[in-house]
């Protein structure tokens, strides 16, 4: 028997001291005690912590921080009263340079543990200048408190309990104002709140968007209804409070699902979309289209994509998972031709309009599943020189890497919001003969646990 096995296991309610030496992907500190990993929320690497064990399992335990006999030098005072109740931020208690190091390390760990890619050329992470107020989108669940007041806020971590919030440090002040107007309006025009358990009731989410460069604001109410009692009054009050208001929309979602948006949108007041400027181009954004949430860091991300693509004007670029066409359109002027592929029809419509809006005539957009469209392009002999990929968190669809290998582009530029699926896919690309030139993590989501990466691969 190994000596460690003779040590008494940790038991519930026990108090222990431990050093925090690592961080989980969702921002909890990890230490070891009596050969067990102990996960402790609200700790930082370098903390010497006094912890109460609140849960034990076979190989790990969960602890609650009681006191910090020796705090980490990376610590700072968390400046939001909702930190750790709301599931948004993971790192408000840690200085930003330390947060960036954690994120960079997470990318290296994923590459090595999941992809077996130890020598991958990871560049220093690109940190943000603004670590607060950067979000241009908020989706706020609505519930009703026992006091009868409307609760607008964010879901608690891994739950559907709403943590009410009047101000969120990640969002612009104009969103706080829209939330205030909405709460006040509802007091005068009471609505039923949607109940996930029964599928009854009306108000589901308040969904806000801001075009950072133009200041245009969209307010979208997601409801289990085709109309709201007093919707014109809501629009009027929002107009009075928000100078940049451009669009008030009702999105109808009648499904019993935790997908936030339904398919149908009706404009209550103003335009059906807002327009932003990104990398010098104008982009129209409608409620159902994906658009990166951090304007300034997205520009830096797209600049890296451009640098990695290294276009000369002779290339055909295939932009898979293209959303409203943003990445491809920023490359189009340096390419011979651009083909974008996106599965959401509204986003494809936006992408086509965005091309026209910017006088780009060498771009076409296909509304299709990325893997399917790639297969069809390969069969018809339309072979790109550069493939840009920006899939959702689950990464490339099965078979897509094979199809890309068969298309044999010189370069693949892979943008990813999940280091784990990225590492899995980069392994597939390595096996398909695509070697790494560089990978740069970009902090698109300061204070949260998420990290974005852009990778440049070339055909060996
Ligand atoms: N490149 C864009 C969007 C990236 S987000 C940008 O930077 O803004 C990922 C996009 O992939 C979303 O727009 C989503 O609607 C789309 N998508 C998800 N699954 C898809 C699939 N199977 N085929 C094509 N597009 C898909």
- Edge-first strand listing for the sheet containing 245-252: 162-164, 150-155, 137-144, 203-211, 216-223, 245-252, 264-270
Alpha-carbon distance of 347 to 291, in angstroms, equals 9
Q: Is 342 in the pocket of ligand 1 (CB under 6 A)?
A: yes
Q: What CATH number has the domain spanning 101-129+294-459?
A: 3.40.50.150
Q: What CATH number has the domain spanning 137-278?
A: 2.40.50.1070
pLDDT of residue 262: 97
Q: Is 344 in the pocket of ligand 1 (CB under 6 A)?
A: yes
Alpha-carbon distance of 42 to 29, in angstroms, equals 7
Distance 197 CA to ligand 1 centre (A): 30
Catalytic residue, candidates 89, 322, 417, 453: 417
Q: Is 321 in the pocket of ligand 1 (CB under 6 A)?
A: yes
Alpha carbon nearest to ligand 1 atom 13, residue: 323
User: Average pLDDT in the 387-409 region?
Assistant: 97
Length of the chain: 460
Q: Is 42 in the pocket of ligand 1 (CB under 6 A)?
A: no
Q: Are β-strands 452-459 and 434-442 bridged in parallel, bridged antiparallel, or unpaired?
A: antiparallel
Q: Is 175 in the pocket of ligand 1 (CB under 6 A)?
A: no
Distance 346 CA to ligand 1 centre (A): 12
137-278 matches 101-129+294-459 in CATH topology: no
- Please check the confidence at residue 5 and state whether its pLDDT lies above 60: no
Alpha-carbon distance of 454 to 423, in angstroms, equals 12
Q: Which of the listed residues 391, 394, 404, 421 should we mutate to test ligand 1's pocket, taking the one with most ligand atoms within 8 A of CB?
A: 391
417 is catalytic: yes
User: Average pLDDT in the 355-372 region?
Assistant: 98
Alpha-carbon distance of 197 to 50, in angstroms, equals 40
pLDDT digits (tens, 9 = 90+) for 247-260: 999 999 999 998 99
Task: Give 148's contacts (C-beta < 8 A, 6+ positions apart).
Answer: none
Give the three-class secondary structure for 149: coil
pLDDT of residue 25: 84
Closest CA to 188 of 125, 236, 255, 116: 236
- Please check the confidence at residue 7 and state whether its pLDDT lies above 90: no
pLDDT of residue 3: 46
Q: Phi first, then psi: what are they for 395, rounded to 5°?
A: 80, -165
User: Average pLDDT in the 351-369 region?
Assistant: 97
Q: Is 367 in the pocket of ligand 1 (CB under 6 A)?
A: no
Q: Is 315 in the pocket of ligand 1 (CB under 6 A)?
A: no
Give the position, in ligand 1's atom list, of the atom nearest the Cα of 322: 1
- Buried b or exposed e, range 26-39, using 16+ CB within 10 angstroms: ebbbbbebeebbbb
Average pLDDT, the chain: 95
Q: Is 290 in the pocket of ligand 1 (CB under 6 A)?
A: yes
pLDDT digits (tens, 9 = 90+) for 306-339: 999 999 999 999 999 999 999 999 999 999 999 9
Which band of pLDDT confidence, cut at 50, 70 and 90, is reported for residue 1?
very low
The CA radius of gyration of the chain, in Å to the nearest whole number, is 24
Distance 344 CA to ligand 1 centre (A): 8
Distance 334 CA to ligand 1 centre (A): 22
Q: Which of 146-160, 350-364, 401-415, 432-446 has the lowest mean pLDDT?
A: 146-160
Extents of the domains making up the chain: 2-70, 101-129+294-459, 137-278
Which band of pLDDT confidence, cut at 50, 70 and 90, is reported for residue 4?
very low
Q: Which residues face 339 on adjacent strands?
A: 318, 364
pLDDT digits (tens, 9 = 90+) for 19-52: 999 999 888 999 999 999 999 999 999 999 999 9
Question: Which carries the bigger pLDDT value, residue 25 or residue 384?
Answer: 384
State whether CATH 3.40.50.300 applies to domain 2-70.
Answer: no
Alpha carbon nearest to ligand 1 atom 20, residue: 343
């Amino acid at each position: 028997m190994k000596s460690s096995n003779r040590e008494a296991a940790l038991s519930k309610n026990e108090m222990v001291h431990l050093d925090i030496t690592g961080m989980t992907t969702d921002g909890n500190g990890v230490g070891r005690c009596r050969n067990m990993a102990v996960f402790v929320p609200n700790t930082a690497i370098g903390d010497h912590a006094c912890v109460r064990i609140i849960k034990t399992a076979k190989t790990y335990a969960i602890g609650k921080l009681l006191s910090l006999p020796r705090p980490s030098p990376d610590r700072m005072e968390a400046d939001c009263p909702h930190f750790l109740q709301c599931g948004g931020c993971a790192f408000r208690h840690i200085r930003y340079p330390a947060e960036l190091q954690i994120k960079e390390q997470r990318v290296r760990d994923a590459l090595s543990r999941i992809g077996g890619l130890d020598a991958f050329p990871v560049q220093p992470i690109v940190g943000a200048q603004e670590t607060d107020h950067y979000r241009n989108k908020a989706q706020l669940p609505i519930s009703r408190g026992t006091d009868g007041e409307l609760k607008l806020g964010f879901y608690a971590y891994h739950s559907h309990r709403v943590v009410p919030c009047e101000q969120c440090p990640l969002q612009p002040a104009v969103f706080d104002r829209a939330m205030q107007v909405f709460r006040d309006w509802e007091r005068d025009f009471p609505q039923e709140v949607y109940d996930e358990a029964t599928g009854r009731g009306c108000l589901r989410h308040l969904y806000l968007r801001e075009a950072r460069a133009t200041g245009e604001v969209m307010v979208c109410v997601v409801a289990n209804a085709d109309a709201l009692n007093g919707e014109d009054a809501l629009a009027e009050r929002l107009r009075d409070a928000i100078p940049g208001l451009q669009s008030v929309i009702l999105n109808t979602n009648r499904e019993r699902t935790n997908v936030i948006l339904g398919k149908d949108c009706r404009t209550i007041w103003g335009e059906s979309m807002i327009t932003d400027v990104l990398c010098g181009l104008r982009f129209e954004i409608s409620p159902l289209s994906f658009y990166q949430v951090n304007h300034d860091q997205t520009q830096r991300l797209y600049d890296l994509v451009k640098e990695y693509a290294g276009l000369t004007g002779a290339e055909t670029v295939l932009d898979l998972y293209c959303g409203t066409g943003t990445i491809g359109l920023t490359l189009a002027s340096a390419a011979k031709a651009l083909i974008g592929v996106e599965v959401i029809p509204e986003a494809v419509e936006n992408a086509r309009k965005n091309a026209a809006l910017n006088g780009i005539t060498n771009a076409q957009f296909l509304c299709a599943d990325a893997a399917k469209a790639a297969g069809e392009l390969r069969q018809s002999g339309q072979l790109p020189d550069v493939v840009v990929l920006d899939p959702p968190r689950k990464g490339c669809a099965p078979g897509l890497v094979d199809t890309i290998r068969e298309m044999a582009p010189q370069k693949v530029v892979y943008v990813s919001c999940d280091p784990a699926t990225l590492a899995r896919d980069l392994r597939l690309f390595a096996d398909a003969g695509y070697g790494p030139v560089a990978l740069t993590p970009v902090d698109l989501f300061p204070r949260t646990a998420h990290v974005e990466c852009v990778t440049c691969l070339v055909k060996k």
